[in-house]
Structure 1
Amino acid sequence: MPSEPHQQAKQPVSAALAGPYGHPFHPILVTVPIGAWVGSLVFDIASHLVDDPDFLARGAMWLIAVGVIGALAAALVGLLDLFAIPTGTRAFRTGLIHMTLNLLVTASYAGSFLWRHAGDGPSGSVGAGQLVVNAVTLAVLGVSGFLGGKLAYRYGVRVADEATQAEGFLPSRRNSARP
């Protein structure tokens, strides 16, 4: 039987803000910055492959901005999920590292947006330095995502307990034989 701290980490601190039991908002919200930032790297690379790269450089800059805004929203909800984890546990330490990496990634992308927005904004292909910062920052985000997966799939943070999960494996009414 799971320990009490394990059960505590499954419950939302605030269901209205962090999502109800078994349906946390944080995993939903992280798709916005991840998608925006991956898209920005694709645009950065593509800006070196086309004759008129301005629209791709501008698009990458605005995708970075969308990602930063989405990351801030995800961070607020993720912080609530972190509060549900008992301190002094491996799960809490993993959560702190996950949060720290995400804050560094968000700060890096915010700085990248300002760098790109400086002066008249982007024109021409994205600079090599900006492209490298984007790629390295995205790699750090991948490490943080791995830790987020560890929190959910290994430690079960904000995941329904096994008894609740078992409901999904009962025969459905449509499949059960009735005389």
Structure 2
Amino acid sequence: MPSELQQQAKRPVSATLAGPYGHPFHPILVTVPIGAWVGSLVFDIASHIVGDPDFLARGSMWLIAVGVVGALLAAMVGFLDLLAIPTDTRAFRIGLIHMTLNLLVTAAYAGNFLWRHAGDGPSDSVGTGQLVLGAVSLAVLGVSGYLGGKLAYHYGVRVADEATQAEGFVPAHRRPNRRTG
């Protein structure tokens, strides 16, 4: 039986803003910055391989911008999920580290965007410093993602409790017919 503190971390602070019980919005929204930033690194590397790298360098810059906007949206609902976790717990401390790393990564990508956008914007292959900053930022994002996974899969933050989960494992022939009762 989950403790009262565990139950608190499973319930949304605001179902409207953070997603209803068992369906948090944060894991859905994080796919935007992750995908955009992985794509930007692929474009960065490819800009060193092709003969006309301008379009890849510009594409990478705008993928970074999309990722920053997506990260800010994910951070807002993620912060609401953090508020659901009791403060004097290991899960809360991990949540704080997860949030801090994500904010640092977002700031690094925002800086990388501004660096690339300076002047007339990219006009050749992505610079080595910009490429390294993107790669390091993505690695830190991976560490933060591991911690986010630990919050959800190890500690069950914003995950439906075991009794609710068990409903999905009742064999079909033993479930009551919803039409008749």
TM-score (norm 2): 0.95
RMSD across aligned C-alpha pairs, in angstroms?
1.3
How do 1:1-179 residues align onto structure 2 when only pairs under 5 Å count? 1-172=1-172
Shift >3 Å, 4+ stretches: 173-176
Cα shift at 1:163: 0.3
Deviation at 1:171, TM superposition (A): 1.3
- Cα distance 1:167–1:174, how it changes in 2: closer, same or farther (>3 A)? closer
After superposition, the C-alpha distances for 1:107-142 in whole angstroms (9 at most, x for unaligned) are 000000000000000011000000000000000000
State percent identity of aligned pairs.
84
Q: For 1:42-79, what per-residue CA distance to the aligned partner results, in whole angstroms no more than 9, with x for missing partners? A: 00000000000000000000000000000000000000
The whole-number CA distance in structure 1 between the counterparts of 2:174 and 2:56 is: 50
Unaligned runs of 5+ in 2: 177-181
Compute the TM-score of the two structures, normalised by the length of structure 1: 0.96
CA drift of 1:143 comes to 0.2
State the aligned residue count.
Answer: 176
SS of alignment partner, residue 115 of structure 1: helix
| Distance (whole Å) between structure 1 residues aligned to residue 121 and residue 144 of structure 2 | 30
1:65 match: secondary structure: helix
Q: Please, which runs of 5 or more residues in structure 1 have no aligned partner?
A: none
CA distance in structure 2 between the partners assigned to 1:122 and 1:175 by the alignment: 60
